[in-house]
Chain A
Amino acid sequence: MKIFLKPILKIYLKYITKLVLLIHKPIIIVIGGSTNKHFVKKEIERVLKGKKLSVCATPKNFNTEIGLPLAILNLSSGYNSYRKWLPIIPQALKKIFTYKFPKYLVLELGTASPGDMKYLLTIIKPHIAIITNITQRYLESFENMNKLTEEYLILAKKLQKFNLLILNKDNIRIKSIGECSRAKTLYFSIKTKADIYAYNIQKNERGYKFTLNNKGGDSEHNLSKFGSHHIYAFLVGQLVKEYVSHNE
């Protein structure tokens, strides 16, 4: 997209999105972290749909300054093409009046450069925030890991007392973030005891078999996917399901 169009589009989409959110007041669940945002998003979508709730999880990883508004408005991107953006611009405006809005919005929040998180949080006020992990991925634009972690601290600090913060206890950088938030904080793990954790994890031909401990109670689960990130996603899904059941 040409250099002068981008700032205009950014502001235009930001304020339309804010207006749409103000009108419809959805419950916003955001997922931040270096990896595994997609799988956690899909799992949350699955559990909420399983409860017959109206939910929209963005199909793509639109998690940038322009991508996030598009994700919320359920619009596709015109990328670098004026021609493709032309119909999207009026469509965005129409969303204020016509869009049948979902009750739950599940969004990925990406931070590729310092300041990204702060900007994205001027558009949305999350009710539930999840931080999957913090790794060296996307570190290019940050001086060091501390600077990257600060981005996620901004998210944790933004939450209100009545919001929920869900953190990965197995990631050393994330553990400390909970201390900086006013929100209720829950931890998940596959390595140690936490608010919810998986243990006895056994890989088999079909995926995984594991025991899930949730506040002291054990249950057996099978997951027909491969990779521990899917177990993490499952744990987060369970925490969100519980929270939503409690608040519905």
Chain B
Amino acid sequence: MFERTKNLKLSIIKQIELEASKYPDTISLAQGIPSFETPECIKRRVVNALKKGATSRYSLSPGLPELRELIEIHLAKENIFYNWEKEIVVTTGTIEGISASILAITNPGDEIIIPEPTYTSYQEVIYLCGCRPVFVPLNEGGGWSFELDKFKEAITPKTKAIFYCNPNNPTGTIYTKEQLLGLAELAKKNNLFLISDEVYKDFTYQNENIFSLAELPELRDRVIRLYGFSKAYAMTGWRVGYVHSNENIIKEILKIHDCLVTCAPVISQYAAMGALEMGQDDIALFNKEYKKRRELICSRLDGLANIFSYIKPESSYYIFPKILKKVKSWDFALDLIKNIQVAAVPGFAFGENGENHLRMCFGRSQDDINRAFDRMDNYFKKSNL
């Protein structure tokens, strides 16, 4: 019984949230939820679609044509060219796209390389697909950068793909073009797929251009790129995203997508259309606010320099400070919840290399950040840590 699921774990982030829910006054910097409400323009688009009765039926399995066409138009602005008719599938959040992609390209027993620390749910999806995650540590001293030699060493005849998140969750690192091109060379030499989750690409704090391997036409038959509307447009509850790749790969992903969900919720597809048509001003606004919050959380961490050290994130709304005291991150995180009702995610959730760190989300309001740090200031003072 339960052979497939017996080794799967509920994500540590959700475990922490469950633990935090036992304390009514908890301030959570744990889950990556933006503090903002979904922009009005998006809701309006949905209301219009509802009134017209356009949301009550299935869409085509790959998604509404008008949404996919809009996605192609938006991708082209980023120098990424894919055919909406055959190469783009609208998914039920990014995680469904990830599951469908891995199921489509792997056989049971295959290995997938993931740099770590990285998003905690990747490994569970890989296990669910009957594959094995192979972790390659990122270099903290080099600003959580890739070390290509380590990827090279991790490749075996069973390796099917390299799966990374750019910008990275939880470190907020933007991988450089050179690093990514190095990875692409490795993939070409070893005939591997490259799965790129770019859900945080809209948040950059120095106006950096985030390079994507999907920009390179010669990599179309290797790169599977994923995007979700949750983070950029404050739409975590809508569960909508998309995956794009070369036609022959998408054809296979679509079969899995059809089995899993038939189509992404049509009401959310209309929300995604509203986001792409009218949500750009809101993204700019969120970006500006997250930049302020990044400065705030960094300055508050500076005040706890005896407890944490950190690398300033270049993107996303996470910071991944190192706990200076030798302590298990799980114990440290539980300690914070129990004693001062502040929730953060223990670093080991993102892989062994993340141990001795905490992930804090500055997607929460400035008030939440300040209150959480006020409590930590007092607590660490009292406990002489």
6 further contact pairs, Cβ within 8 A, besides A36-B69, A226-B82: A61-B277, A137-B65, A205-B217, A206-B217, A224-B81, A229-B85
Q: Do residues B53 and A227 form an inter-chain contact, with CB atoms below 8 A?
A: no
Indicate the member of B40, B69, B220 with the most A CB atoms within 10 Å.
B69
Q: Do residues A79 and B41 form an inter-chain contact, with CB atoms below 8 A?
A: yes
- Alpha-carbon distance A140/B266, docked complex (angstroms): 13
- Alpha-carbon distance A61/B66, docked complex (angstroms): 11
Confirm or deny: A176 has a beta carbon within 8 angstroms of a beta carbon on chain B. Answer: no
Q: Do residues A225 and B81 form an inter-chain contact, with CB atoms below 8 A?
A: yes
Question: Chain B contacts of A60 at CB under 8 A?
Answer: 277
- Alpha-carbon distance A60/B277, docked complex (angstroms): 8
Please, which residue of chain A has its CB at the minimum distance from the CB of B49?
A140
Confirm or deny: A91 has a beta carbon within 8 angstroms of a beta carbon on chain B. Answer: no
Q: What's the nearest-Cβ distance from chain A to residue B129, in Å?
A: 28
Please, which residue of chain A has its CB at the minimum distance from the CB of B219?
A205
Known A140-B52, A205-B217; judge A38-B69 contact (CB<8 A): yes
Q: Do residues B220 and A205 form an inter-chain contact, with CB atoms below 8 A?
A: yes
Q: What's the nearest-Cβ distance from chain B to residue A144, in Å?
A: 15
Chain A contact residues (Cβ within 8 angstroms of B): what range?
20 to 34
- B148-179 at interface with A (beta carbon < 8 Å): none
- Alpha-carbon distance A60/B74, docked complex (angstroms): 11
Question: Chain A contacts of B367 at CB under 8 A?
Answer: none
Confirm or deny: B218 has a beta carbon within 8 angstroms of a beta carbon on chain A. Answer: yes
Confirm or deny: B318 has a beta carbon within 8 angstroms of a beta carbon on chain A. Answer: no
Known A79-B41, A79-B278; judge A35-B83 contact (CB<8 A): no
- Alpha-carbon distance A224/B52, docked complex (angstroms): 38
Instruction: Select which of A141, A226, A229 is within 8 A of B81 by beta carbon.
Output: A226
Question: Chain A contacts of B83 at CB under 8 A?
Answer: 226-227, 229
Confirm or deny: B317 has a beta carbon within 8 angstroms of a beta carbon on chain A. Answer: no
Q: Do residues B82 and A38 form an inter-chain contact, with CB atoms below 8 A?
A: no
Mark A21-43 against chain B: 1 for CB-CB distance below 8 A, else 0: 00000000000001110100000
- Can you list 28 residue pairs at the A/B interface with Cβ under 8 Å? A34-B65, A35-B69, A36-B69, A38-B73, A60-B277, A61-B277, A79-B41, A79-B44, A80-B40, A80-B44, A135-B65, A137-B66, A140-B53, A140-B54, A205-B218, A205-B220, A207-B81, A224-B217, A225-B81, A226-B82, A226-B83, A227-B83, A227-B84, A227-B85, A227-B86, A228-B85, A229-B84, A229-B85
Please, which residue of chain A has its CB at the minimum distance from the CB of B278?
A79
Q: How many A-B residue pairs have CB under 8 A?
A: 47
Mark B216-257 against chain A: 1 for CB-CB distance below 8 A, else 0: 011010000000000000000000000000000000000000
Mostly, the A contact residues are loop
Please, which residue of chain B has its CB at the minimum distance from the CB of A34?
B65
- Alpha-carbon distance A55/B151, docked complex (angstroms): 51
Count residues on chain B whose CB falls below 8 Å from chain A CBs: 24
- Alpha-carbon distance A36/B68, docked complex (angstroms): 11
Mark A189-206 against chain B: 1 for CB-CB distance below 8 A, else 0: 000000000000000011
Mark A128-160 against chain B: 1 for CB-CB distance below 8 A, else 0: 000000010110110000000000000000000
Confirm or deny: B17 has a beta carbon within 8 angstroms of a beta carbon on chain A. Answer: no
Indicate the member of A34, A141, A224, A226 with the most B CB atoms within 10 Å.
A226
Q: Do residues B81 and A35 form an inter-chain contact, with CB atoms below 8 A?
A: no
- Alpha-carbon distance A226/B84, docked complex (angstroms): 9
Question: Chain A contacts of B73 at CB under 8 A?
Answer: 38
- Alpha-carbon distance A206/B218, docked complex (angstroms): 7
Q: What's the nearest-Cβ distance from chain B to residue A15, in Å?
A: 26
Question: Chain B contacts of A138 at CB under 8 A?
Answer: 66
- Alpha-carbon distance A15/B64, docked complex (angstroms): 35
Question: Chain A contacts of B202 at CB under 8 A?
Answer: none
Question: Chain A contacts of B278 at CB under 8 A?
Answer: 79
Question: Chain A contacts of B82 at CB under 8 A?
Answer: 226
- Alpha-carbon distance A35/B64, docked complex (angstroms): 11
Confirm or deny: B355 has a beta carbon within 8 angstroms of a beta carbon on chain A. Answer: no
Known A140-B52, A227-B85, A229-B85; judge A35-B40 contact (CB<8 A): no
Q: Do residues A227 and B72 form an inter-chain contact, with CB atoms below 8 A?
A: yes
- Alpha-carbon distance A138/B54, docked complex (angstroms): 9
- Alpha-carbon distance A141/B53, docked complex (angstroms): 9
Confirm or deny: B87 has a beta carbon within 8 angstroms of a beta carbon on chain A. Answer: yes
Q: Do residues A226 and B65 form an inter-chain contact, with CB atoms below 8 A?
A: no
Please, which residue of chain A has its CB at the minimum distance from the CB of B55?
A140
- Alpha-carbon distance A14/B64, docked complex (angstroms): 31
Q: What's the nearest-Cβ distance from chain B to residue A3, in Å?
A: 13
Question: Chain A contacts of B72 at CB under 8 A?
Answer: 227
Question: Chain B contacts of A34 at CB under 8 A?
Answer: 65
Q: Which 6 A-B pairs have the closest CB atoms?
A: A227-B83, A226-B83, A140-B54, A140-B52, A137-B65, A206-B217
